[in-house]
Amino acid sequence: MQLIFMGPPGAGKGTQAQLLAALWKIPHISTGEILRACVVAKTDLGQKAQSYMDRGELVPDEVLMDIVQERMNQPDARAGWILDGFPRTVAQAAFFDKLLCDVEGSTSGKDCALRAVNLDVPDNVLVARLLSRGRQDDNEETIRRRLQVYREQTEPLIDFYSGRQQLVAVDGDRAMELVTAELQQALSRDS
């Protein structure tokens, strides 16, 4: 099981990824959590990432790519994984496609068992969810900027994975248990 969880900030990617990773006993790899840990530890990477995160901008590709490549090479990722927060751009998806091919020995990401899950949630629901989290970087102006960046840079991934018949779309504006049940059903049917 190789899954990418996509959707705007606040769509429930992390929650659903954690639930399914525990159920299927595969690692949940969250680039956001890795970056936040680097920020808290005040590493060079963390300080660099902090300046982008504070403005609601995406962390640059080269930084995320290094993190993902290092994590994907760890032994627990060989049996499957759920990736949350990467790729966020078509350029990152193309890099990831190449990385998967190198790891699996296939000629194209289309040959891999990868599925991209998109959780769709209306903006007004997302803003309310994110404001209720109470994180330092979650004020309404920053949230709206993050949603704009998502629409401009990340939404094109829906077409990228849909064109490869790798996209599983789910309505994320429902009770958590209903979303989880639909994901389980859709992904077990696809695998």
Rounded to whole angstroms, how far apart are CA atoms 105 and 6? 25
Rounded to whole angstroms, how far apart are CA atoms 180 and 159? 23
Q: Which of 25, 55, 110, 133 is catalytic?
A: 133
Beta strands in 53-153 (DSSP E): 81-84, 114-120
Rounded to whole angstroms, how far apart are CA atoms 25 and 55? 35
Q: Which residues of 101-125 are buried (b: 16+ CB within 10 A; e: fewer)?
A: beeeeeeebeebebbbbbbebeeee
Rounded to whole angstroms, how far apart are CA atoms 123 and 108? 34
Q: Is 1 helix (H, G, I), strand (E, B) or coil?
A: coil
**Is residue 78 annotated as a catalytic residue, yes or no?**
no
**Is residue 133 annotated as a catalytic residue, yes or no?**
yes
Q: Which of 71, 115, 129, 146 is catalytic?
A: 146
Rounded to whole angstroms, how far apart are CA atoms 1 and 82? 8
Q: Which of 25, 78, 135, 151 is catalytic?
A: 135
Q: Which of 13, 71, 115, 129 is catalytic?
A: 13
**Is residue 115 annotated as a catalytic residue, yes or no?**
no
Q: Which of 42, 88, 110, 174 is catalytic?
A: 88
The residue among 56, 106, 83, 104 whose CA lies nearest residue 157 is 83
**Is residue 42 annotated as a catalytic residue, yes or no?**
no
**Is residue 146 annotated as a catalytic residue, yes or no?**
yes
Which residues are tagged catalytic?
A: 13, 88, 133, 135, 146
